[in-house]
Amino acid sequence: MSTSIKIERRNGGIKPVAASNDGLSALVCYIPQEDIPEGMTEVKRVSTLEEAEMLGFTDDKQTYKGAIYYHLREAFRVNPTLRVYLGVYDNSSVDYTKIKEVVNASKGEVRQVVVYDPETMISKSAVTSMVMVANELAVDDKPMSVVYCPKIADHNALPDIMTEGYDRVSVCIGEDLDTDSIAEDYREAELVVGMAGVMLGVVSKAKVNECIAWVANFNTGMGVAGLVDGTKYQDMTVSEREALEEKRVLYPKMYVGYEGVYMNDSYTMDVEKSDYNAIERVRTMDKAARGVRSYLLPYVAGNIEIDAQSGQIARDSVEMLKNEGNRYLEVMEKNKEISGWKVEIDPEQNVLATSKIEIVIQNVPMGVSRHLKIAMGYSESI
């Protein structure tokens, strides 16, 4: 055979690129010190499973290092454009302020954080700590949402966590209980698995206004819907499921006669009557706040013309600020992320005395058809 050179064409080397930072996420993990890879001495940004492997994460089904690898694999399966900041910490002393460390590593650009804390039993005190951290970040102009994935012993004995104002934290107690899934290997090693990876993928993939339970858009790809305590969705009674809904926890579910596994809803731990009772409500407002801030920030400490006759803010100055406030919201409405908006500025504000201008913005959100009620019956004629 004569000498030759052959070239094989390969595929898959170019990672899809996210269109915006809406999906920029973080995964914060608390595991035993001995399971933390040597490469995780600080927060790392990971965009591919190969990058995670370079940090020391492997398919080790006996350790939580392997469980994190599993969750990253699930996250990239659900959302190939995912970019995630990864922080892994010793669970001998769980400190939820580490969430700040991970968010700050992204210069405040992270939009959602999934907390994987598999050896800590679910409690209201843990959620309260995360609410405090998330609220402090929001005050510091770094608004984001948290999905907490803890350990549970019995889904029929969950603590009452829902509290008014707990809008930035959601609690997920779901798990893929398919005995043929990779998760089964970790369960056999007596590791608490959960579904942190799927949550990371689904929330980051959804547009800010989209409910992660949208059946047409978000099939999780899981095998068997279940809970961390080993209970399968199909084995729960209707009253058990209703009790979980009242607790406002997240978990996977299946629909009779329809293929796939989907989320039950997009609850936050806020009360049902709150404007921010769902993840998409929080994410949409956070996006609007970030965007409006970016357009109005250049006007901070700038001159404002005052009408010399009335002492009020001059009409031109009012219109200028309103137009700047409108610009980002116009884009969001065009992208079907909000239904409408209104920007108002009272010209009678005494800027000369206070050096302050109050701007009121009202956004109309997109609706979500959580329940469809169909009336069907026979008729003698139509």
- Spatial separation of the C-alpha atoms in residues 67 and 64, rounded to whole Å: 5
- Mean pLDDT, the chain, rounded, equals 94
Among 206, 119, 199, 130, smallest CA distance to 165 is for 130
- Which CA distances in Å does 315 have to 12, 306, 310? 56, 9, 11
Instruction: Give the residues of the chain that fall short of pLDDT 70.
Output: 1, 8-19
Confidence at residue 188, expressed as pLDDT on a 0 to 100 scale: 86
Question: For residue range 122-167, what is the model confidence (pLDDT) as tens digits?
Answer: 999 999 999 999 999 999 999 999 999 999 999 999 999 999 999 9
Q: All domains of the chain, ordered by start, with CATH? A: 21-263 (3.40.50), 301-365 (no CATH)
Q: List the helix and strand counts (H, then E) for the chain.
A: 10, 12
Confidence at residue 9, expressed as pLDDT on a 0 to 100 scale: 66
Confidence at residue 20, expressed as pLDDT on a 0 to 100 scale: 80
Confidence at residue 14, expressed as pLDDT on a 0 to 100 scale: 53
Confidence at residue 19, expressed as pLDDT on a 0 to 100 scale: 58
- Spatial separation of the C-alpha atoms in residues 26 and 369, rounded to whole Å: 29
